Amino acid sequence: MITRFGSLYAGHVDLDNIGFDGTPVNDRWLSDEHLATVFDKAEAIVTTMDRLGYSTFWTAEHRLQREGYECIPNLLLHFVHLAHLTKQIKFGCGFNVAPMWHPIRLAEDFAVADRLTGGRIIFGVGRGYHSRECEVLGAPSTAIDNEGNRELFEDQVDILVKAFNQPAFSHHSKHYDIPPRIPYRGYELEEVTLVPKPLKTPVEIWQPIVSATERAMDFMAKYDLHGIIGGGAAAGGATDKVMHAYRDAFGRVGRELELGGNLIIGYSFHIAETEAKAIEQARPYFEENMKMFGPLGFVRGLDDNKLAALGDPKRARSAGLPTLEEAVEAGSWLVGPPELIIEKLQDVQSRYPGLEEVNVGSVIGTPQAVICEQLEIFAKEVMPAFTGQAELATAD
């Protein structure tokens, strides 16, 4: 049953002139001062969430985005700071882009941050779809070399799991020679030890579920990776096909899960007095988010003509682009009054009995004031219908 709620903030600054009629994505080039406001915005969001009883603040690792959409390049350093400003909320890496790291450096940084925050950081890894980010740092992205990226990512996950959970380890592959066979202080090096280890092992590792292929699901099951579906972590909302594919993959390695177990479903949301009013208020944010993610392959049904129109304020409105109404109908957005959102989440809960946590978030383009206001309304008028369920179950 659903008993916990988190939220994903991708790291966008407040933007002006948004929506299909607004400034094209590639025309934005914000000042250093404006880009740095992402840290004040993140503080406002996370302290609001901590006060209201949310479980986890998730945010994304991205870099080199002068447009202002995803502006936090170091999650672990950021989380150590945020932990000092909050009391109980956890911090989710959504996600550390593994190909942009050496896996030992990533494991070390997580372990240090985990210990400095008293175990309040949730580890997560992703493959990297921004070609401008990965390729600049010398790693293949899914956009340029999908198979090369997958091969590197899978190799890195194997190293991370070994480093976190084994007293000492070695790893020799196409990409890494850990350790090289060299003399060290009177002996030949054959293995190394991660220092420090994370506070709690084995480390729980999360990954976005995007393609949900059998190969991808089997890889997640092999390493016991938990998954996030939707909500900005992947395209679209949760589907029965994805949920069953994940559960079935774990069954193939001898682990039985309830449907929805080990998973978080993410939804974009907006609360107002009516569904129509919520759609009207959220439409500019929905459109700005599509302008950002459409060219990156995260919006289904966009051919070359529609993609071109998406970047042209004069053409976008009449190009037949996807609408917020369609996203609501598809289930990736929750909009309307609190009672309607409760009803929809209760339906999700009944279909996926193993699901314990849901992410609700505001998309890229949403101003800080609106994000915090929406989180406040959700916490006070939606969350209580679910967070009390665990206590009732314990009492029974």
Tens of pLDDT, residue by residue over 148-158, are: 999 999 999 99
Specify the pLDDT at position 394.
57
Please say whether the dihedral angle defined by the alpha carbons of residues 217, 219, 221 and 226, taken in this order, is positive or negative.
negative
Distance between CA atoms of residues 242 and 209, nearest Å: 8
Global pTM reads: 0.95
326-350 burial, b for 16+ CB within 10 Å, e for fewer? ebbeebbbbbbbbebbbebbeebbe
pLDDT for residue 163: 98
Domain locations along the chain = 4-94+209-280+331-395
Q: Over 90: is that where the pLDDT of 183 sits?
A: yes
The pLDDT score that the predictor gives to residue 238 is: 53
Q: Which CATH superfamily is domain 4-94+209-280+331-395 in?
A: Luciferase-like domain (3.20.20.30)
Which distant-in-sequence residues (6+ apart) come within 8 Å of 102 by Cβ?
Answer: none
To the nearest whole number, what is the mean pLDDT of the chain? Answer: 95
Amino acid 235: pLDDT: 47
Residues 6 or more apart whose CB falls under 8 angstroms from that of 153 comprise: 98, 99, 125, 127, 128
At 343, list the tokens. Answer: 């009803």
**Do the strands 226-230 and 357-361 form a parallel or antiparallel pair, or are they unpaired?**
unpaired
Those residues with Cβ within 8 angstroms of residue 35's Cβ, 6 or more apart along the chain or in another chain: 13, 66, 68, 71
DSSP string across 107-127: HHHHHHHHHHTTS-EEEEEE-
**3 state DSSP class of 288:** helix
Segment 85-97, tens digit of pLDDT: 999 999 999 999 9
